């Protein structure tokens, strides 16, 4: 009997040791260069409490398609783009939970491409273990740790100057765009594990009185009619809105010879301007978002937009990207 308990006791002791030392491995600042993973998305944790009106979540299709600062300049409501490359829905759900500890957005936009990213139990276990024991995520920081990691408290005050948007002016047109929505060779069918976390994301939003909207960015490589039909059906079953921008590329003015940076997978800056214009107007027309213009609490947003405009107009950044 004693031998039976030894492994259990060992695991418990090991857990608490890892839990105790995890604090030292977590970056004490969320600024780039301090070891934080996905600094652009995690810049939201440096925003003042309850100042984000719209949160964008999803994979790289999201952070390359919607730019928050022009929307602020036009309509006066705030937005942060928290998209992360190749993100699984379990990670999206985990990120949403963390953001909601400090923010109370009125709208969440979820880019739907991640719905079809293959995910398995190992991905879930990895995310959950890293959330509970951050040392699993930040163990590789040991070479760069300083005395601050042992003496300072975690304090996230840095925020991304573009509010999570990825600026890129590269132009690589798709090889073919003719009837790309008719190409139904892409995997369809929302897996049970993806649907489980998609349901949890939607439920979390409803529990916090957040309007959640699914949307899909124009992409010749990622989207087709079958996927549109499936997500439309799912959205109707959950009584939520779904916008497939692939169905209105002409209305948006998408020019596939100029508006993609990688052969139709992602939009570049020029394509993002068009999606941003459309989504800004769409969100404004919901009549549920405040206009903070003139509120001293949001002066930083005016300064951020001025800097954003200056960088782009004066081309003080690389003609490829700024990250």
The pLDDT value recorded for residue 318 is 46
Q: pLDDT: is 152 or 2 the higher one?
A: 152
Instruction: Summarize pLDDT for 15-50 with one digit per residue, the tens.
Output: 666 666 656 566 656 667 666 667 788 899 999 999
pTM: 0.86
Per the domain annotation, does 181 fall within a domain? yes
Question: In this structure, are residues 225 and 181 in contact, taking their beta carbons and an 8 Å threshold?
Answer: yes
Range of the domain at 34: 2-313
- Lowest-confidence pick of 64-68, 237-241, 315-319: 315-319
Encoding tokens for residue 100? 């909601």
DSSP 8-state code for residue 294: T
Question: In this structure, are residues 106 and 210 in contact, taking their beta carbons and an 8 Å threshold?
Answer: yes
Per the domain annotation, does 323 fall within a domain? no
Per the domain annotation, does 318 fall within a domain? no
d(CA 131, CA 304): 31
Per the domain annotation, does 66 fall within a domain? yes
Q: Is the pLDDT of residue 303 over 60?
A: yes
Per the domain annotation, does 320 fall within a domain? no
Indicate the number of domains in the chain. 1
d(CA 100, CA 255): 37
d(CA 105, CA 289): 9
Which pairs count as long-range contacts for 15-20, CB under 8 Å and 24+ apart, including other chains?
15/133, 18/133, 18/135, 19/132, 19/133
Q: What is the CATH number of the domain that holds 183?
A: 3.40.50.1110
Per the domain annotation, does 175 fall within a domain? yes
Per the domain annotation, does 322 fall within a domain? no
DSSP 8-state code for residue 4: H
Per the domain annotation, does 321 fall within a domain? no
Q: Average pLDDT of the chain?
A: 86
Q: What does the CA dihedral 204, 297, 160, 44 come to, rounded to 10 degrees?
A: -20
- Lowest-confidence pick of 76-85, 125-134, 167-176, 289-298: 125-134
Question: In this structure, are residues 161 and 53 in contact, taking their beta carbons and an 8 Å threshold?
Answer: no
Q: State the DSSP H helix or E strand holding residue 164, giving kind and residue range, or none if neither.
A: none
Compute the average pLDDT of residues 235-241.
Answer: 97
- For tokens 């839990």, the residue is 19
Instruction: Summarize pLDDT for 256-282 with one digit per residue, the tens.
Output: 999 999 999 999 999 999 999 999 999
């Amino acid at each position: 009997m004693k031998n039976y308990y030894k492994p259990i006791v060992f695991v418990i002791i090991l857990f608490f040791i890892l839990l105790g030392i995890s604090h030292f491995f977590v970056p004490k600042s969320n600024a780039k260069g301090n070891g934080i993973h996905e600094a652009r998305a995690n810049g939201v944790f440096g925003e003042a409490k309850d100042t984000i009106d719209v949160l964008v979540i999803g994979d790289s299709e999201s952070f390359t398609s919607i730019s928050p600062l022009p929307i602020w300049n036009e309509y006066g409501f705030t937005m942060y783009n928290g998209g992360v490359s190749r993100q699984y829905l379990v990670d999206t759900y985990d990120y949403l939970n963390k953001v909601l500890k400090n923010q109370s957005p009125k709208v969440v936009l979820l880019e739907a491409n991640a719905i079809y990213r293959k995910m398995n139990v190992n991905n879930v276990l990895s995310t959950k273990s890293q959330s509970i024991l951050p040392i699993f995520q930040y163990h590789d920081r040991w070479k760069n740790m300083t005395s601050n990691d042992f003496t300072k408290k975690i304090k996230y005050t840095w925020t991304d100057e573009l509010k999570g948007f990825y600026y890129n002016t590269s132009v690589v047109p798709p090889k073919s765009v003719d009837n790309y929505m008719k190409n139904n060779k892409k995997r369809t069918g929302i897996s049970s594990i993806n649907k489980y976390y998609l349901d949890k994301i939607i439920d979390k939003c409803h529990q916090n009185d957040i309007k959640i909207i699914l949307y899909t960015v124009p992409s010749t490589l990622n989207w087709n009619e079958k996927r549109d039909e499936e997500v439309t059906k799912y959205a109707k079953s959950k009584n939520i809105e779904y916008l497939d921008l692939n169905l209105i590329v002409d209305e948006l003015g998408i020019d596939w010879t100029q508006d993609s940076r990688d052969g139709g997978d992602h939009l570049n800056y020029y394509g993002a301007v068009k999606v941003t214009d459309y989504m800004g107007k769409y969100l404004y027309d919901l009549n549920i978002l405040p206009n903070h213009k003139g509120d001293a609490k949001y002066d930083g947003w005016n300064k951020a937009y001025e800097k954003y405009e200056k960088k782009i107009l004066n081309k003080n950044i690389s003609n490829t990207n700024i990250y």
